[in-house]
């Protein structure tokens, strides 16, 4: 196959993978809004949600509100890929990265010229995402809540479609999302380069990967094409190997290099990867981990029901979710149903014990799940 056709095939597969993932999640969110047939939220299909809830799972065996075991499976898939192949999740799969690249393509059509933040500023701005990683994980683990979910651009994107439930500050998140996408029209993958905590985490993990892009200094003509196409602004032209934490292994530099075998992707400096093989292995490995976990029954996008948690002696008021009923809560915490109704100031004739908590607000103005958690805490303290 001639080089142009080969490169076109690789680009097509890469964009098909990225658009496929973005499209699948977007359709799921839309189905949740329009038909209610999809019953999960944004955090259950986000690997960073698994990282945020990891401490809670290890410490108490419980999950943070909004997190499910699917989050940990997707986190495991991204980590496995990063260990073996580097940050190819970011370059070939990540839906938020795809959104940014789409807007950058639009920006190029409008502005006709690529713009870069000056390197002496860019060098320091890249550390912001590591600060975001430490801050986000630290605050979440301390408070036991997804504290910054209302500011998360990806959560905001899906909240617009109906899969998020971002809370009262969701409008702040939407403003941040719009600002980042507009910035991406001028500066490609702005969020990935400077703010993404998941990218920072995967960058650290990928440092142990043996897969690197190597530049043959003897054949390189220093044309600068590799630098021009790099979406994260790496100075490929002046590096012997590009295997640092910033490289998302999108392979745009290797595809664009005009001199044969000058930029190559290699495993442990010896074995050469064909670009197409590398991309396909990245995709298959990521989705393979998810498929195996799904087959074994571990990929669950719903949190365990309250009755299941209670049987494992891990029930706590924080385990109460909107999908639980008053009957389930009564049984899980051994609280008489009449006492529960009295504590919540509810009328059993108006609100059935089998009504889901999230549906009670349709009958009782101002009712929310937090009121139930607080009431159960008080009743447990009395006992």
pLDDT digits (tens, 9 = 90+) for 238-270: 888 887 789 999 999 999 999 988 999 988 767
Helix (H, G, I), strand (E, B), or coil: what is residue 195? coil
Q: Is the pLDDT of residue 179 over 90?
A: yes
Encode pLDDT of 44-62 as tens digits: 778 888 887 777 777 666 6
User: Helix, strand or coil for residue 265?
Assistant: strand
Domain segments of the chain as ranges: 3-206+280-295, 306-382
Q: Which residue has the higher pLDDT, 220 or 160?
A: 220
Would the pLDDT of 80 be above 80?
Answer: yes
CA 109 to chain centre: 29
pLDDT tier for residue 168 given thresholds of 50, 70 and 90: very low
- Taking each helix axis from N to C end, the angle separating 3-34 and 95-111, rounded to the nearest 10 degrees, works out to 120
- Give me 271's structure tokens: 């074995």
pTM over 0.85: no
DSSP-derived pairing of the beta strands 263-267 and 271-273: antiparallel
Judge whether residue 34 has pLDDT over 50. Answer: yes
Q: How far is CA 196 from the centre of its chain?
A: 10
User: What is residue 42's predicted lDDT score, i.e. its pLDDT?
Assistant: 63
Strand 241-242 with 211-215, pairing? antiparallel
| H or E element at residue 283 | helix 275-295
């Amino acid at each position: 196959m001639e080089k142009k056709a080969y490169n076109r095939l690789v680009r097509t597969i890469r964009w098909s993978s990225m658009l496929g993932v973005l499209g699948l999640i977007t359709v799921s969110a839309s189905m949740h809004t329009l038909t209610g047939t999809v019953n999960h939220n944004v955090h259950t299909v986000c690997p960073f949600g698994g990282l945020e809830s990891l401490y809670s799972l290890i410490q108490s065996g419980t999950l943070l509100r909004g997190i499910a075991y699917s989050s940990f499976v997707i986190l495991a898939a991204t980590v496995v890929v990063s260990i073996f192949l580097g940050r190819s999740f970011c370059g070939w799969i990540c839906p938020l990265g795809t959104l940014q690249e789409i807007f950058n393509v639009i920006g190029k059509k409008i502005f006709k010229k690529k713009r870069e933040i000056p390197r002496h500023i860019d060098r320091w701005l890249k550390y912001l995402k590591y600060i975001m990683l430490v801050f986000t994980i630290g605050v979440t683990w301390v408070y036991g809540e997804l504290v910054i979910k209302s500011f998360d651009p990806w959560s905001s994107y899906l909240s617009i479609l109906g899969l998020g439930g971002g809370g009262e500050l969701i409008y702040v998140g939407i403003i941040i999302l719009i600002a980042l996408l507009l910035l991406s029209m001028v500066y490609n993958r702005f969020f990935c380069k400077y703010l993404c905590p998941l990218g920072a985490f995967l960058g650290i993990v990928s440092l142990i990967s043996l897969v690197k892009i190597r530049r043959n200094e003897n054949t390189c003509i220093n044309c600068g094409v590799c630098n021009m196409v790099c979406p994260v602004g790496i100075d490929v032209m002046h590096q012997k190997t590009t295997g640092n934490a910033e490289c998302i292994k999108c392979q745009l530099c290797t595809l664009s290099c005009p001199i044969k075998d000058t930029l190559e992707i290699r495993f442990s400096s010896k074995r050469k990867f064909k670009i197409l093989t590398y991309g396909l292995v990245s995709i298959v490995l990521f989705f393979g981990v998810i498929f195996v976990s799904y087959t074994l029954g571990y990929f669950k996008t719903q949190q365990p029901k309250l009755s299941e948690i209670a049987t494992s002696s891990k029930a706590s008021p924080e385990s109460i979710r909107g999908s639980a009923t008053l009957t389930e809560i009564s049984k899980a915490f051994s609280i008489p149903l009449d006492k529960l109704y009295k504590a919540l100031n509810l009328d059993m004739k108006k609100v059935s014990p089998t009504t889901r908590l999230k549906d009670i607000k349709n009958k009782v103005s101002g009712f929310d799940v937090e009121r139930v958690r607080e009431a159960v805490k008080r009743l447990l303290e009395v006992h």
